[in-house]
Structure 1
Amino acid sequence: MTQYLTSPQGRRLAYNHSPQAGAPGVVFLGGFKSDMQGSKALFLEDWARGKGLSFLRFDYSGHGVSDGAFEDGSIGDWRDDARAVITALTTGPQVLVGSSMGGWISLLLAREMPQRVAGLVTIAAAPDFTTTTWDEELTEAQRTEVRAKGRVEIPSEYADNPYIFTEKLFDDGAKQRVFDQPLPLPMPTRLLQGTADKDVLPQVATRLLNHASGSDIRLTLVKGADHRFSTPDCLALIATAIDEVLQRQSAS
């Protein structure tokens, strides 16, 4: 059943939580303009229930059924939303499973509150994608439009309507970058990436593997998998990665 939490910033956030006693729980962090009803979140909820694990999925502000307008948000806001639900609704270290933008946010949380992160599993993690979009994907005309109007529309194959990228999103994203400073990941970390991903190129995963520091970080490339990473085989691989992280965390 969907419930609501008001964050310290005053944002009303929707979540579904299946609490269990015992081992670290699992928290799913969704992607840009996605919601907690996606196939990965629902699959992992059922999987966690079968394993007797706590599972938390939620909508960032401006996403899904949480309050707020998407265009008002930013990476820092959504990072704060994730921190709020994890802090208020879970106890002890959790395994963070971050998809695309959720991978970026999970990396920020692992850097800022490592004591609450038992392990990391990222799926096509997209750290610093706002900077990449601004520097490498927008035309000069589009950058001028952002400066003049505060926003630009970018078509997406994942939605009927274009995604809106705001000046706030670009400015704040530049402050939340992962690649411009050290990234210690002392917890077991598994990076999952499809080779046919056109939205987050495999080179991003390789760069992340090389940039992060830690004794238990592994990258798995899946030939032919796209950005959705939602085929039965891909879903099973996510579950296997979580299992492995839990086992490694328990052994340590």
Structure 2
Amino acid sequence: MTGSAFAGSSGVLDVPAPAWIVNDATFFPQWGTFLLALIKHGSIETVRCPEGLVLGDNEFGLLIEGGLFVIDGQNRPDARLMLIEFLKRGDLLTSSPGHSSLLQLYPHSRTTCLVVRDRTFEPFKADFPNWDQLLFQLKAGIAEAYEQATVETRGRDQDRIRRVLTLMADHPTSVDSKLGRQIEAGKQLIRDLAGVQKRSATRAFRALEEDGEVSFHGYKRLFFKG
């Protein structure tokens, strides 16, 4: 598949650079070259719930449409999931943050990514030799987000749920409404992402509703005013 046909059919060339690249005087001028190499050697992959996107050591991607939850659920002493980030269009993907456990990538809804797999990794690097430096910065950002999430999830279960709601409300998959930010998600997904047990989550949801921070409408829709 040629680069021009690929870009024309998917609109990949319109994908914005991540904020951390935009603010980097070294990498931002290279964004166009990086994107062209990614288009040349990558392939479009669509992920749907409840599937996860699995990436190997030499595999990475670019989120084109939808949203991916970055979750740490391995080797945690309390056996709780921890939501690290909620990736959006233009974010780069890797499951290896530079520490012992691999992160899991799960879609919020139908999500499309441009992925470089192991078989095309070396040809990609030949076209974009600065990948190692870019990857170092990417992993540093993930490690920082991981540490921040670790600190933010030490609070009460209600605070853990509020944090998940805030991340989801800030994501482009949510929309403004008169009742607050409309989020397409059910209580089970929210409590799983927050790492909160059902009984405690029920109390936390009730308290948030009584405070007017959240209102639930149907099985998988809520409005958040936090």
TM-score w.r.t. length of structure 2: 0.27
Greater radius of gyration (CA): 2
TM-score w.r.t. length of structure 1: 0.25
